[in-house]
Amino acid sequence: MRPYALMVAIWLALAPALVFAALGAGLERLSGLGLAAGWGRWPRWTACGLTAVFAAYMHPAIALLVAGLVFAARRGAGGPTTPRALVVGSRDTDGKWSALVPVAIALAAVAVLRPAVPMYWDTFVWLGKARIESEGLGALRTAAIDPTADVIPHGYPLLWPLAASWFSMFAKDAASLVAGAAATTLLALLLFLDAAADAFEGGERPPSGFDRRPRWALGGAMALLLVTPMFWVHLRSAYADLPVGLLAATCTLRLGRCLEGAEDVRRDLGAAVVAAMALAGTKDEGIGHVVAIVLAAVAVQPKAGRREALQWLAVLGSAAVVFLGWRALLQAHHVLNTDHELSTPAFEAFGSIGQIVAASAGDTRTWGALWPVAGAAVVAVLARRASFRPATRLAAFALLGEATLLGSALILGPDRVRAFAFAGTLVNRLLVQLVPPTGALLLLGLGDAASRAAARRLSDAQSS
């Protein structure tokens, strides 16, 4: 066998990505959700096409229900239709993106410049599932709902292995499948960076006491996230945990921008719906993230009107349709997802689970200073709510809710889940899912602190 090249064949994903993007662009035209703006339109369209194909792949009824919710989302977005000339390639959006281009290129390079062979346990398992799809479109679905086929892990959602297969053009060899998984991770990463650039800009104009969030704060906060060693391990793996976190952060940032009063929220809402569907289709934890994010939005804006309620319904509903639709399919075919069934709460394990979570989060070789910093940021935002804009408060509540839901899964899940946690193979991977939401909180929180300082300087200059 020849020595392995230290680069994955990412170009394999170009043709499928273009097909998905074309489909996404068409769907955007039909639905009226404004996904097209700036360079970020490409990952948005691609993700839209991918999730639409996935919904139809699972069952046509699921695709129809999601289409109904997108219609609700359109009503929820409200507002005038932005003239296309102002949307496509707007200088403003491209300018925000340009601040993140070096970050995107560096991250993409690290994700791609690696051996084209699986090297970690679950990578083989996920790509093994992806390999089933190489027998033909629908092969994985057929195998996954066949209890005799012994596809493990049993009953897990299918989007992650399917995307790896589709982006590798139904490849059977490990090298191409690794490239497909890398492309899927990159797609989630681009959605996150795109959402970060938009959310950092905030709504139409900053509220009283704030100036625009400065770009250097965006770069600095992103760098704080990137000095987390575990982030780099998972960026180069084919595990689904980092993409789940990136999608959760995307959903948070998009809904946050809706709260900050952007005049035309269709793009944010459309991207939030796509991210929520992808979350529910990637892992069962995904629906937990979406629930936590929507509850956080309700907590930040408890006296919301019909428009906001429709937005939240669209986000939560589209994820719920994907999650429940898949569960219904499993039930109809007598397939049990034994890893993620609820069981009698193991309250007696509360202390030992708390200990292992604390020990894992305090492991600075794996996490650097991320978790103490994340805790401090949450406390700071919740203690001084008036000092932070709504999107930042949403990010703090969402992170808290997501951490609580993931933690409670260790108590409410089956014994097997706790066995994995105590063996040291689960807690860090759940924490990986919280890394991008923490990044979202840091960039908004530090951005607010920097924008307050700028507003104060401006005010002092005017008064003097």
Identity of the residue, 78 or 147, whose beta carbon is nearer to other proteins in the bound complex = 147
CB of 361 to other proteins, least distance (A): 9
User: What does the DSSP assignment read for 89-125?
Assistant: T-HHHHHHHHHHHHHHHHHHHHHHSS-SS--SHHHHH
To 10 degrees, what angle do helices 159-167 and 14-31 make? Answer: 120
Determine, following the binding rule CB under 8 A, whether residue 27 of this chain makes contact with other proteins.
Answer: no
Q: Is residue 147 a contact point for other proteins (CB under 8 A)? A: no
Q: Does 254 bind other proteins (CB under 8 A)?
A: no
| Closest distance of CB 415 from other proteins, Å | 12
383 contacts other proteins (rule: CB under 8 A): yes
| 99 near other proteins (CB under 8 A) | no
Least gap, CB of 237 to other proteins (angstroms): 5
Tell me how far, at minimum, the Cβ of 130 lies from other proteins, in Å: 9
334 binds other proteins (CB under 8 A): no
Contacts of residue 375, defined as CB under 8 A and 6 or more positions apart, other chains included, come to: none
Asked whether position 379 contacts other proteins by CB under 8 A, the answer is yes
How far apart are CB 97 and other proteins at their closest, in Å? 21
Q: Among 167, 192, 200, 239, which residue sits at the site for other proteins (rule: CB under 8 A)? A: 239
The answer to whether residue 365 forms part of the interface with other proteins (CB under 8 A) is yes
In the shown chain, the binding pattern of residues 30 to 69 toward other proteins, with x for contact by CB under 8 A and - for none, equals: ----------------------------------------
Element (H, E) at 87: helix 84-87
Contacts 24+ apart (CB under 8 A), 75-78: 75/310, 76/269, 76/307, 76/308, 76/309, 76/310, 76/311, 76/313, 76/314, 77/33, 77/34, 77/264, 77/265, 77/266, 77/269, 77/270, 77/311, 78/265, 78/307
Question: Residue 225 or 294: which CB sits closer to other proteins?
Answer: 225
Residues 198-227 that bind other proteins (CB under 8 A): 216-217, 220-221, 223-224, 227
Q: Is the peptide bond before 414 cis (omega within 30 degrees of 0)?
A: no
- Asked if residues 445 and 388 have their Cβ atoms less than 8 Å apart, the reply is yes
354 binds other proteins per the rule CB under 8 A? no
Q: For residue 136, how many other CB atoms are within 10 A of its CB?
A: 10
252 near 437, Cβ under 8 Å?
A: yes
Q: Rule CB under 8 A: say whether 7 interacts with other proteins.
A: no
Alpha helices in 334-464 (DSSP H): 350-361, 364-367, 370-383, 390-412, 415-422, 427-463
Q: Which of 99, 295, 304, 449 binds other proteins (CB under 8 A)?
A: 449
Residue 196 makes contact with other proteins by CB under 8 A = no
Among 48, 255, 377, 400, binds other proteins (CB under 8 A): 377
Burial class (CB in 10 A: 0-12, 13-18, 19+), 399: buried
Give the contacts of 399 (CB within 8 A, at least 6 positions apart): 374, 378, 434, 437, 438, 440, 441
Using CB under 8 A, which of 237, 250, 282, 311 touches other proteins? 237
Taking CB under 8 A as the binding criterion, the range among 27-35, 62-70, 278-286, 369-377 that sits at the site for other proteins is 369-377
Nearer to other proteins, 148 or 464 (CB): 148
- Stretch touching other proteins by CB under 8 A, among 13-21, 25-33, 274-282, 426-434: 426-434
Look at residues 286, 192, 184 and name the one whose alpha carbon lies nearest to residue 237: 184
**SS3 of residue 31 by DSSP:** helix
Question: According to the binding rule CB under 8 A, does residue 368 interact with other proteins?
Answer: yes
Neighbour tally for 370: CB within 10 Å: 24
Out of 166, 312, 367, 397, which residue is the one contacting other proteins (CB under 8 A)? 367
Only segment of 1-9, 24-32, 246-254, 316-324 that touches other proteins (CB under 8 A): 1-9
DSSP tally for the chain: helices H, then strands E:
21, 0
Q: Burial level of 361, CB count in 10 A (0-12/13-18/19+)?
A: buried
Binding residue for other proteins (CB under 8 A) from 138, 423, 458, 459?
423
Tokens for 45, please give them: 């369209």
Q: How far is the CB of 282 from other proteins (least distance, A)?
A: 16
The yes or no reply on residue 96 touching other proteins (CB under 8 A) is no
Give how far the C-alpha of residue 114 lies from the chain's centroid of Cα atoms, to the nearest Å: 23
Chosen residue from 116, 199, 240, 262 binding other proteins by CB under 8 A: 116
